Amino acid sequence: MNKKKINKLSKLQYEVTQNCGTEKPFDNEYWDNEEEGIYVDIIDGTPLFCSLHKYDSGSGWPSFYKSLNNNISYNDDYKLGYKRIEVRSIKSNTHLGHIFNDGPKDKAGFRYCINSASLRFISKSSLKSEGYKNLLKLFLKKDKK
């Protein structure tokens, strides 16, 4: 865990990432972001999601139909009195949000419902300068269209 980074979090970022909080729908940084790029763990910078897999679920939170890699863990969550599946960033143990099975059916049916407060967005144009040059390949197929 990166204690220096945690000490620099806003109150909301801390509540979401460390105490499994939830930010308000439609009133968060990335719910309607349409810029190309990646979303990384706000604590340690681990790449988690890509804008190519983001869609408007109508929920008011950033929604993705798949994650970038195997950097996410899944845990049963009964805090609301019924079973949900919590998603966390493995390395930092950051609470990200939840996964549901009501996503796009043509994309395996998953909806990662993620709190903006747990993420940092890195635009496609900044990937190289931010140290994520290897992820530019995600956008190559789309750029050739």
> b/e per residue, 25-49, with b = 16+ CB within 10 A?
eeebebbebeebbbbbbbbbbbbbb
Active site residue 20: no
pLDDT of residue 145: 46
pLDDT of residue 140: 86
pLDDT of residue 54: 97
Q: Say what the pTM is.
A: 0.92
Catalytic residue among 48, 113, 119, 122: 113
Q: Which domains does the chain have, with CATH numbers?
A: 3-124 (2.170.150.20)
pLDDT tier for residue 5 given thresholds of 50, 70 and 90: low
pLDDT tier for residue 28 given thresholds of 50, 70 and 90: very high
* Cα 130 to Cα 110: distance, rounded to the nearest angstrom: 29
Question: Hey, CA dihedral for 100, 105, 108, 114, is it positive or negative?
Answer: negative
